[in-house]
A and B are shown apart, each in its own frame.
Chain A
Amino acid sequence: MVASSPKLISDRALHDAELISNSGAWAKNARQSASARAQEQGLPQRRDEYWKYTRPDLFVQKNVALIPQARPEISIFADQMKTEIEFKNAKLAADDLPEIDNCKIESLSNACALDLHWVQDIYGKLELAGQNPVKRSLAALNTAMATEGLLVHAKGQVSSPIRIHSVSIGSIDAVIHHVVKVEAGASVTLIETGQYGARSNVVIEVEVADTGSFHHIRIQDGQESHMLTHIFASIGADAKFKSFTLTADCKMTRNECILELVGDNSSVTVAGACLGDSNFHHDDTVFITHDAVNCESRQVFKKVLRNGAVGVFQGKILVKAGAQKTDGYQISQSLLLDEDSQFLAKPELEIYADDVACSHGSTSGAIDEEALFYLRSRGVPEPKAVDLLTLSFIAQAIGEIEDPDLAQAILSYLTDILEAR
């Protein structure tokens, strides 16, 4: 089915053509086929089942009021970072990228100008694989139109995390596409903070080879930002993938994570915590495919909502025939601080193997009155007691972060955010 001509795509055709004409052979191919894919799929519509709880309008409309925001420098992770790369208004702030041991970092724009590059085996390929069974046309659109991104090739243990910090001022529509390739035995941590644009469409494709390990931590805290992100990852045998996202006070965010376990004995975790206040809509959409034996997957999401904020969780575990000894865990919980806020959850399991353990749970609740009284009886004023119980609620998701220093940094950052509001 060909959808009604998507306005945004046709309006971008000129820009698109320019991007393609400036591209080397591999990029031209990848962009053209992604463009065709997006055209054929059409933009997400409100009637699409996959967009039932989140209106796609704000991600696809051409004329969205994008409010310029200058964000103060975030002090989070200040102690942990040795490798920092800055994006300014969706462009790399410096031409020179850091050179670090066991890892090569390049820019997408440079790689696109070449006729051959290792990234051609991944760029748009994992995204394409993730289009089935659910179409994700905005990810295809990203592959076609991405203007910048980082290509991270980890060849061994990368000792300190690579942090991407983005600053945007003005009405920037950012289309960013990162690719991470983790070789056998290699490990790397990627951290994203700040906002690429006032509205961002971000794709990260991650290929983790056998015995490789990838960690991802993301902080989304732009007050007015609209963010749509996709992670597409393919995980080999005896490998590890972990992603954690903290979302606080963005207007509209949808984080999709599409993982495929293709090698045996691997583990993946997708976790997230959000603090939503008033005009806040946050959607976690996860699709994990088990296509190998003895793999573990965990989805842990905690949402704290107040003043009419809305949280969405759509999480699916698909266990293919033959993916025996799969251990799938999925929990999504919301803490509703008032009666105006909403949590919409759609947990799904689809299992075609018979020796599998999968559990899922979803809850919505108010503050525990017993615990609140306990804290207040010790002299902690009610708002502070609610903050402590909020941290307590979120703790399980933060507990999924492997590095204790990074987890602690996020916890302190959360405490600061709670105190400030």
Chain B
Amino acid sequence: MLEIKNLCVQLEEEDKKILRGVNLSLEAGKVHAIMGPNGSGKSTLSYVLSGKGGYEVTEGSAHLEGNDILEMEPEERAAAGLFLAFQYPVEIPGVGNMTFLRTAVNSQRKLRGEPEMSAGEFLKVVRAKAKDLKIDADMLKRPVNVGFSGGEKKRNEILQMAMLEPKMCILDETDSGLDVDAMKLVAQGVNALRDGKRTFLVITHYQRLLDHIKPDVVHIMAAGRIIKSGGPELALEVENNGYADLLEETA
């Protein structure tokens, strides 16, 4: 699904290397997790893949189903099936959540040359999906993320994911700022989208989230590289021993 080869990235504004040759191969239908200490480049990886400005790719490539996504605009990547659930979802006052969702869904359809979803059909679908995530009518009406609690913002991210039906989902520290119940709810939302074809890249600091979203592969990232990959047991190892041992091991 997503092939990342030797991805090297630095900041545009200053000569600071953040990713130093990331290699990842994410198969269709699998859940990969990336863990790693602060500043290891996890969030940068998610931003670079989704097309945020301010970064310069100096080497390497990233292909989604064989298409070079690094050459695409962010909206084209989205239409190609890439989705990033933000660590800090942005508040947009004055734009209703529903308007935003419908604009997003139909913009993607338009970019793909598909017919737009009618208002009636959209309403039906969004209501059903919102209900599963315990998002009430009021939250749908309110301006995007404005006045939402941390948990509501993350649930809203998952709702967007459910509506946009991406092929490749990147979750950037979706567990940050969530209490246990909220995390369970979000994890349920994510699990409901696992259909054997959709691929997930879950970025997290803690093993906790991985109790609820069971990964197939766990990668440890440090200093801009994947230093170790393994099964779910790797996450438990980190939980018990921290990163220090791993970092020493690969030093």
Contacts and interface: CB of A to CB of B under 8 A. Distances in A.
B92 A388 contact: yes
A389 B50 CA distance: 20
Interface string B101-118: 001110110010000000
Given A379-B104, A379-B107, A380-B107, A392 B74 contact: no
A311 to B, nearest CB: 19
A396 B93 contact: yes
Interface string B155-195: 00000100010000000000000000000000000000000
Interface in B55-78: 73-75, 77-78
B79 A391 contact: no
Contact of B111 (A370, A381, A396): A381
Interface stretch (B10-18, B82-90, B209-217): B82-90
B92 A392 contact: yes
A396 B94 contact: yes
A219 interface: no
Contact of B92 (A384, A389, A394): A389
A376 B73 contact: yes
A376 B90 contact: no
B51 interface: yes
Contacts of A75: none
Interface residues of B, number: 29
A118 interface: no
Given A384-B107, A388-B100, A376 B94 contact: no
B128 interface: no
Mostly, the A contact residues are: helix
How many interface residues does chain A have, given as a range? 20 to 34
A398 to B, nearest CB: 8
Most buried by B among A393, A395, A399: A395
A370 B104 contact: no
Contacts of A392: 92-95, 143
A373 interface: yes
Given A388-B92, A388-B100, A392-B93, A379 B86 contact: no
A403 interface: no
B52 interface: yes
A405 interface: no
B169 to A, nearest CB: 12
A394 B93 CA distance: 10
Contacts, number: 82
Interface string A341-385: 000000000000000000000000000111101111111111011
A380 B78 CA distance: 9
Nearest to B50: A377
Contacts of B83: 377
B53 interface: yes
Nearest to A387: B103
Nearest to B160: A378
Most buried by A among B50, B74, B100: B74
Interface string A293-328: 000000000000000000000000000000000000
Given A382-B73, A384-B107, A388-B103, A377 B84 contact: yes
B164 A378 contact: yes
B81 to A, nearest CB: 10
Nearest to B78: A379
A381 B75 contact: yes
A360 B93 CA distance: 21
B93 A377 contact: no
B164 to A, nearest CB: 7
Contacts of B104: 375, 378-380
8 contacts: A373-B51, A373-B53, A374-B89, A375-B92, A377-B51, A377-B83, A388-B95, A392-B92
Q: Which 9 A-B pairs have the closest CB atoms?
A: A395-B94, A379-B108, A379-B78, A378-B104, A376-B74, A374-B90, A392-B94, A379-B107, A380-B107
Interface of A: 368-371, 373-382, 384-385, 388-389, 391-396, 398-399
Given A376-B74, A379-B78, 20 more contacts: A370-B90, A373-B52, A373-B53, A373-B74, A374-B90, A375-B92, A377-B52, A377-B74, A377-B84, A379-B105, A379-B107, A379-B108, A379-B111, A380-B75, A380-B104, A382-B75, A388-B92, A393-B94, A395-B93, A396-B93
